[in-house]
Amino acid sequence: MLFLDKSMEEVSIKFLGTGNAVPTKLRNHTAILVTIGNENILVDCGEGTQRQFRYANLSPTKITKLLVTHWHGDHILGIPGLLQTLAMSEYSKTLHIYGPKGTNYFMNLMSELFKDFKLNLKVEEITSTAKSFGQLQIESEEMLHDAATNAYAIILKDRVHLDKKKLKKYKLPNSPILKELQNGRNIVFNGKTIKASSITYREKGKKIAIILDTGMTPNAIQIANNADVLICEATFSKEEEAQAKEYRHLTAEQAATIAKKAKVKKLILTHISQRYEHNTKIIEKEAKKIFKNTSVVKDLDEIKV
């Protein structure tokens, strides 16, 4: 079970790579690190991700889970090198790897090609699934692309807290009865019924949605629904909408439309084409016309939620 303390109230997102199929001097291939307490969840691992960890002064050995959106090269070519580094660093944890259909096949293929992983890997294919790890939940939805593709939501569930002042008022001991109250069950103490609702309060959880390569699909709105932050690809501008449709990618305007319909709080655009390397204001402006709280992210940027 994932242990939660006060540090869990903050979610950190580090953008290790924000480019698309062709990297540039300023943008590496896609990789996003989401940190929640002791969990370090890497979403995609493009070529060069290991060096990005170094530039960010982070250790890849802290990774606990790898979420693969799809098996296109710019999203996965960093995986073999990363796994070799973990093996040489005597990584002792179980690395959980989740991805769309075909993930088992590709991981087995990698294992055949690179025989020195020597790691405890747990690989699972997921689609339209919710996986719970204590207070952490990972949800996936199938996207519309020319390969099997997932989008993900990383969720810190709501937490129920006990009101310390009321505990003191009722002189309740530190015993299993507190767990009963926290689980929403009323108790009887010293002959009096104490309602859980009168002594507890709920802390709202947090939700990070990550949508990378996809065309427009209702599933994108579903996975992003009510997210605190939506990280979304914006490979094309409005002028290139026909190309976006052909290659099953999103324009900045479409990303903003998803954000608006899903009622998210903040939209971050990533997977930036080299065409906008020196003028990201073009796609940012297009998105802001529809969804004001939009920004374009850069490599090694970090946000707290």
Q: What is the pLDDT of residue 9?
A: 62
Cβ(125)–Cβ(102) below 8 Å: yes
Q: Is residue 19 within 8 Å of residue 77, measured between CB atoms? A: no
* pLDDT tens-digit readout, 115-155: 767 899 999 999 999 999 988 999 999 999 999 999 999 99
Mean pLDDT value across the chain: 92
Which domains does the chain show, CATH number per domain?
Answer: 6-158+204-304 (3.60.15.10), 160-201 (no CATH)
Per-residue b or e along 261-276, where b marks 16 or more CB atoms closer than 10 Å to that residue's CB: bbebebbbbbbbbeeb
pLDDT tens digits, 94-112? 999 999 999 999 999 999 9
pLDDT band at 92 (very low <50, low <70, confident <90, very high): very high
The identity of residue 229, as a single letter, is V
* Residues pairing with 302 in the sheet: 14
- The pTM assigned to this predicted structure is 0.90
Which residues does the annotation mark as catalytic?
Answer: 74
| Longest CA pairwise span in the chain (Å) | 72
pLDDT tier at 175 (50, 70, 90 boundaries)? confident
* Terminal C-alpha separation, the chain: 22
Tens of pLDDT, residue by residue over 4-57, are 334 346 899 999 999 999 999 999 999 999 999 899 999 999 999 999 999 999
pLDDT of residue 116: 67
